[in-house]
Structure 1
Amino acid sequence: MARILVIGGAHVDRTGRLEAPHRPGASNPGRWEIGVGGGAFNAARNLARLGHHVTLVAPRGGDAAAAMVERAAEDAGIEDCPITFLDRATPSYSAILEPDGNLVTALADMALYEMVPARRLLTARLRRRLEAAELLLADANLPESALSALADQAAMRGLPLAAIAVSPAKVVRWKPSLAKLACLAMNAAEATTISGVPAATPADWPAILGRAGLAGGLVSAGGGPVAGFAGGTAAVLVPPPLERIADVTGAGDALVSGYLDGWLGGGELAANLTRGIALARLTAEVDGPVRSDLSPDLLASALAAMPKPAPIANSEPRRPA
């Protein structure tokens, strides 16, 4: 299995679930659920449970929330190497949901991520970890200057860099480094933001993003078609319907985790996409952003039992104009 260095967000997720429709300006009965999330951290836990040696580098404070992240990393078998700011709060995301799951409001306290300068990612310790890694995976929670420095270091070493978009607001931080990415995982809104052009069909994404300078990527659309391209090949697969959905949180991170697991094993593009779709489906079947029972055997069983995703006929590779 591969040695993977993961850098990015690992924070506390607080979800308030209302028992009845929200009443503004009033006390609303409900319950809080507290867990740990973050795009990079979700992917790191998935990849570690699939048998890879994963090292996590994530900013955090000197508080109880930091201890939650540490315990979650240990439970997943991750080598944890935090960037610690003892006088700061660990980032958190707090959301209030209606009984049907729709968002009422949310508060993202992510200021700590903005405090990570590029030099904190270029220490001798981190450079040694870059030298030992076979894949670098990072999300867009860190500042653009820090991400650019990571991309430069990866390119200098010939180290593949896979990236997670995180959100339309943050994906633009990858724009100066697009040509240095082996893969950028995003949804359709994030793909439109990074390219400046919407796609008429999912099969158009490889050409559109190729013109933007990206050599490889994944574009998802909820439960809709998933487009992938790499090495001059492209594919668009339609996931089979899922009978039961408990929580879609983390499904996108699971998609890229499964895809990278297949890619590291030398799989072909369509097979890697199918692997990512299977892991996303497994994740959506449970509450929370990851499955604590994930294993190579569970993923293999899900792949064997899953109806084969349907290819879209016009998804042949297209050379960027």
Structure 2
Amino acid sequence: MKENEKIIFRLIEQNPYISQQEIADIIGLSRPAVANIISSLVKKKYLLGKAYIVNERNGIVCIGAANVDKKIKTTEKLISYTSNPVTSMASVGGVARNVAENLGRLGNEVSLLSVSGNDAEWARIREMSSPFMNTNSVVTIEGQSTGTYTALLDADGEMYLGLADMSIYDYLTPELLMKQTAILQHASCIIMDLNCPKESIEFICSFSAKNNIKLVLITVSEPKMERLPQNLQAVDCLIVNKGETQAFFNEQYNTKQDLEKAGEKWLSLGVKRVVLTQGSNDLLVMSPNPKWYPIKALNAENIIDVTGAGDSFTAAYIDAWLLDEDDDTCALAGRTNSYHTIQSIQTVRPQLTKNRLLKEMKEY
């Protein structure tokens, strides 16, 4: 056994009913890191029973993409059909994973449910993610590659083109999810992105409704809006942008009144709350009454990378929402986290903590 495994084993041996959070507090690790070590002890047969497991129903399960993100930024104005000088970097990403890390950094107990290849990319994702979430429910698909997402950014840091190799998520099937019902049943909230197959999204909608679990759906792109079910009665919160809304309803929206009508259409499909973003323009929240929130302007020279803007907004909004904060506080939390994330080179800013976010919200 490794040193941390020995310490945790002794603590469980002394008190089989000790909670994972108590262990984390004693040895100075995060709760997800402790969960990963306990899982390792079970796999190695050092732990045979499950007396140590506390029935925790306050965890969040994030289902969807866990990728390696590759960012390529032009140093000058982008010119088509010729060579352009660029800088590049790679980091861990994926909508569900990014949201999970943000939530973990904000102090939530989070589990990631995804699929990966048996490759170096997944090893890197797991290493970087494990301090903030439990990754034991990620299923390895032999013969497949871990997902990758390549973003081409212009000189101002705005995304010019995104390239997604996401075929592995076709394996995130209802059959696979059925084998994970133990973790899903103990969730206080399930968050799912639309990188998952449509039938899997429908399965989670049905599962959440049957088990009275809060459900958040996160859209990821206009082409994948076809994966969204027409019946959204199980969805407590839908986070979607203007372009995706236009694609889903096959309409164009030019005014705030147009967007409010679009919000009413979402609500008519059963969604209890819709959060409609439009980049640097005002944010609309309807639950059911419309509320508009301005986005704080940021000088172009301070914008480093917008890739993580949506995921950081989503996570902070959900964090406040799950604490039963009012609409204004939820919107403020999301906008504040996004505002500071786009000033960071990382998709999830490493400085994020709950106390830091609360302080930043007062200054937003």
Bin the TM-score by the shorter chain: 0.7 to 0.9
Distance 1:23 1:267, change over 3 A: closer
> AA paired with 1:65?
E
Q: Partner residue of 2:328? A: 270
Asked if 1 retains the 8 angstrom alpha-carbon contact of 2:72 and 2:153, the reply is: yes
Distance 1:187 1:197, change over 3 A: same
Q: Partner residue of 2:248? A: 194
Asked if 2 retains the 8 angstrom alpha-carbon contact of 1:59 and 1:83, the reply is: yes
CA shift at 1:45, angstroms? Answer: 0.6
Q: Which runs of 5+ in 1 are unaligned?
A: 307-321
Q: Partner residue of 2:295? A: 239
What are the within-5 Å matches in structure 2 for residues 281-292 of structure 1? 281-292=339-350
Query: What TM-score, normalized to structure 2?
Result: 0.77
Q: Distance in 2 between matches of 1:30 and 1:197?
A: 36
Q: Partner residue of 2:315? A: 257
Distance 1:177 1:38, change over 3 A: farther
Distance 1:15 1:156, change over 3 A: same
CA shift at 1:274, angstroms? Answer: 1.5
Asked if 1 retains the 8 angstrom alpha-carbon contact of 2:156 and 2:303, the reply is: no
CA shift at 1:211, angstroms? Answer: 2.8
Distance 1:211 1:198, change over 3 A: farther
CA shift at 1:164, angstroms? Answer: 0.5
Q: Distance in 2 between matches of 1:18 and 1:120?
A: 40
Q: Partner residue of 1:49? A: 105
> AA paired with 1:157?
N
- Please identify, of 264-273 and 202-211, the stretch whose mean Cα deviation from structure 2 is larger: 202-211
Q: Partner residue of 1:218? A: 275
Q: Partner residue of 1:64? A: 120
Distance 1:216 1:25, change over 3 A: closer
Asked if 1 retains the 8 angstrom alpha-carbon contact of 2:230 and 2:269, the reply is: no
> AA paired with 1:224?
N
What are the within-5 Å matches in structure 2 for residues 141-152 of structure 1? 141-152=195-206
Is 1:79 the counterpart of 2:134 in the alignment?
Answer: yes
Q: Partner residue of 1:296? A: 354
CA shift at 1:24, angstroms? Answer: 5.9
Q: Which runs of 4+ in 1 moved over 6 A?
A: none
Of 253, 256, 264, 1:207 maps to 264
Q: Which runs of 5+ in 2 are unaligned?
A: 1-56
CA shift at 1:150, angstroms? Answer: 1.1
Asked if 1 retains the 8 angstrom alpha-carbon contact of 2:159 and 2:306, the reply is: no
Asked if 2 retains the 8 angstrom alpha-carbon contact of 1:94 and 1:108, the reply is: yes
Q: Distance in 1 between matches of 2:83 and 2:245?
A: 39
Is 1:166 the counterpart of 2:220 in the alignment?
Answer: yes
Q: Distance in 2 between matches of 1:261 and 1:2?
A: 12
CA shift at 1:177, angstroms? Answer: 4.2
Q: Looking at CA atoms only, which structure, 1 or 2, has the larger radius of gyration?
A: 2
Q: Distance in 2 between matches of 1:148 and 1:176?
A: 10
What are the within-5 Å matches in structure 2 for residues 27-46 of structure 1? 28-46=84-102
Of 188, 194, 210, 1:156 maps to 210
> AA paired with 2:355?
D
SS of equivalent to 2:70: strand
> AA paired with 1:79?
N
Asked if 2 retains the 8 angstrom alpha-carbon contact of 1:134 and 1:160, the reply is: yes
Q: Distance in 2 between matches of 1:33 and 1:139?
A: 24
SS of equivalent to 1:161: strand
Distance 1:2 1:223, change over 3 A: farther
CA RMSD in angstroms, aligned pairs only: 2.1
State percent identity of aligned pairs: 25
> AA paired with 2:268?
R
Q: Partner residue of 1:313? A: none
Query: What TM-score, normalized to structure 1?
Result: 0.87
SS of equivalent to 1:79: coil
